[in-house]
């Protein structure tokens, strides 16, 4: 779902209704700068994850003018310079995914 539209938070009360999980989200500042948010979860002692409101607030605090939640859970993976740099929650490791954002 959308998290921020025209600089305004979409979720006004509650936690967003999807519980606490690993999260992936994307946002954009007014100047066009893209923001990518990756939050690990489902790993007690390391990271339990985040709510939609948590993701919304982080992106808002970092200047997002528009933002949306993406597929999270076991799909939450950040690959950088040839390596996975987060700790995906899937017990089998990295998952194959149908879509990805590639930044060069």
pLDDT at 100 over 90: no
pLDDT at residue 66, rounded to an integer: 98
For the cut 90, the answer to whether the pLDDT of residue 92 exceeds it is no
69-84 exposure pattern, b = at least 16 Cβ within 10 A, e = fewer: bbebbbbbbbeeeeee
- pLDDT, residue 88, reads 92
Q: What is the mean pLDDT of the chain?
A: 94
Contact 76/39 with Cβ under 8 angstroms? yes
Looking at residues 24-41, what average pLDDT do you find? 98
All structural domains of the chain with their residue ranges: 2-84
pLDDT digit string (tens) for 56-84?
Answer: 999 999 999 999 999 998 889 999 999 99
CA–CA distance, 71 with 34 (Å, rounded to integer): 17
Please give the pLDDT value at position 47.
97
End-to-end CA distance of the chain: 26
| Residues across the chain | 104
> Could you tell me the pTM of the whole model?
0.93
């Amino acid at each position: 779902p959308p998290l921020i539209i025209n600089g305004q938070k979409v979720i006004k009360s509650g936690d967003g209704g999807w519980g606490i999980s690993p999260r992936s989200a994307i946002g954009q500042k007014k100047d066009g700068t893209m923001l990518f948010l990756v939050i690990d979860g489902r790993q007690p002692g390391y990271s339990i994850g985040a709510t939609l409101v948590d993701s919304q607030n982080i992106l808002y605090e970092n200047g997002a003018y528009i933002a949306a939640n993406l597929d999270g859970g076991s799909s939450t993976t950040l690959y950088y310079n040839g390596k996975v740099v987060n700790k995906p929650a899937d017990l089998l490791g990295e998952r194959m995914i149908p879509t990805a954002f590639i930044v060069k």
